Structure 1
Amino acid sequence: MLFSCLLFIPSLGLASGKTIFGLSEHVGLPDLGLQLPAKLDTGAQTASLSAWDIVHFRRDGERWVRFTLGLEDTDPVIVERPLARTSRIKRRAGDVAEDDKTYTSRPVIELDMCLGESLQRIEVNLTDRRRFEFPLLIGSSALTQFGALVDPSQNFAFHEPGCAVADTDE
């Protein structure tokens, strides 16, 4: 009886339709024509992209942001995207600023992301991640959209993002 139960357990992962990724993966950003290394962090709720010189502005009555993509050792990449919303991110215990706020406000944009074989539209907050190893962090909300399971014993389980992106030129 125990043996037959043990044989059934591996099939649970297959039936769930989940994909196993490592702690870090290459992520395609087709909207920006880029591929970036990302940290997959189940302890974070949202996705964060490294950005600086963030400027809010209006275009045709809509709220937008312009920012420099926070990639070191490359030519500056200036990006303009509609603002989806502004998020409030809880600060860690040692990060409380002089204003005593326990949160920080961050602009949120939407980007198409390719992780493994899956292409999803993900909300991403913008923050300066230059002090971190990875310019992109993928949190639990996005991991859920991707149907992802994270295996902490692996890194870069998928060597390249493999999304088939349809050609939209007509």
Structure 2
Amino acid sequence: MLVVGWRERVDLPLFGLSNLKAKIDTGARTSALHATDIVTFERDGVPWVRFHTKFDDDSIDTDVECPIHDRRDIKNTSGIPETRIVIRTKFRIGKRLWSIDLSLTERSDMKFRMIVGRTALRKHHILVDPNKSNLTTPISATKTDETRISS
């Protein structure tokens, strides 16, 4: 069992993003990533998305292109449903790496530019201690880590 705090440093290695401040939010079903300048397009007949993401912490601004996994109605922080683009990517917390779905939304006014919802944690033997923060130690993304993905 991996015990994590209500906020942790996480990595999205396929996007070259590491040491991101994320809120572990078991009240949210779907994880969300701050994204602006969202543009959809097709590549070889497959729907893709291009977006910009920026964090207030030590990470760099990044432009990302990836396939669209889904479009879903997701309730925003005010409880109002909105249709969002959902992508699937690799996610690392501590020494563990697996695939998660991330909805793209503009979170400039939010304290955390990324939230990790309960669906991303399910079946990965994660316990959230709401009294603690930063219980895991981030690891730099390496190609060898990408081969150790749990499904």
Give the TM-score normalised by structure 2: 0.85
Deviation at 1:145, TM superposition (A): 4.0
Equivalent position amino acid for 2:130 in 1: P
Are 2:54 and 1:70 equivalent residues in the alignment?
yes
Task: Give 3-state SS (helix, strand or coil) of 2:15's partner.
Answer: coil
Give 2:133's match in structure 1, choosing from 152, 155, 158: 155
Task: Give 3-state SS (helix, strand or coil) of 1:134's partner.
Answer: coil
Equivalent position amino acid for 1:166 in 2: T
Deviation at 1:31, TM superposition (A): 0.3
RMSD: 2.2
Are 2:66 and 1:88 equivalent residues in the alignment?
no
Aligned partners of 1:34 and 1:123: how far apart in 2? Answer: 16
Task: Give 3-state SS (helix, strand or coil) of 1:133's partner.
Answer: coil
User: What is the match of residue 111 of structure 2?
Assistant: 133
Deviation at 1:149, TM superposition (A): 0.9
Give the TM-score normalised by structure 1: 0.76
User: What is the match of residue 86 of structure 2?
Assistant: 108
| Greater C-alpha radius of gyration | 1
> Structure 1: where are the runs of 5+ without partners?
1-17, 96-101
Deviations 1:5-57 (A, max 9, x none): xxxxxxxxxxxxx2110001111111011111110001000110000110010
Percent same amino acid at aligned positions?
36
Deviation at 1:71, TM superposition (A): 2.4
- Retained in 1: the 8 A contact 2:16–2:141? no
Aligned partners of 2:123 and 2:94: how far apart in 1? Answer: 13
- Retained in 2: the 8 A contact 1:119–1:163? no
Which moves more between the two structures, 139-148 or 76-85? 139-148
Are 2:9 and 1:31 equivalent residues in the alignment?
no
Aligned partners of 1:31 and 1:91: how far apart in 2? Answer: 26
Q: How does 1:43-82 map to 2 (within 5 A)?
A: 43-72=27-56, 76-82=61-67
> Structure 2: where are the runs of 5+ without partners?
147-151
Specify which structure has the higher proportion of helix. Answer: 1
Task: Give 3-state SS (helix, strand or coil) of 1:31's partner.
Answer: helix
Q: Which stretches of structure 1, 4 residues or longer, exceed 3 Å deviation after superposition?
A: 72-76, 161-165
Equivalent position amino acid for 1:67 in 2: F
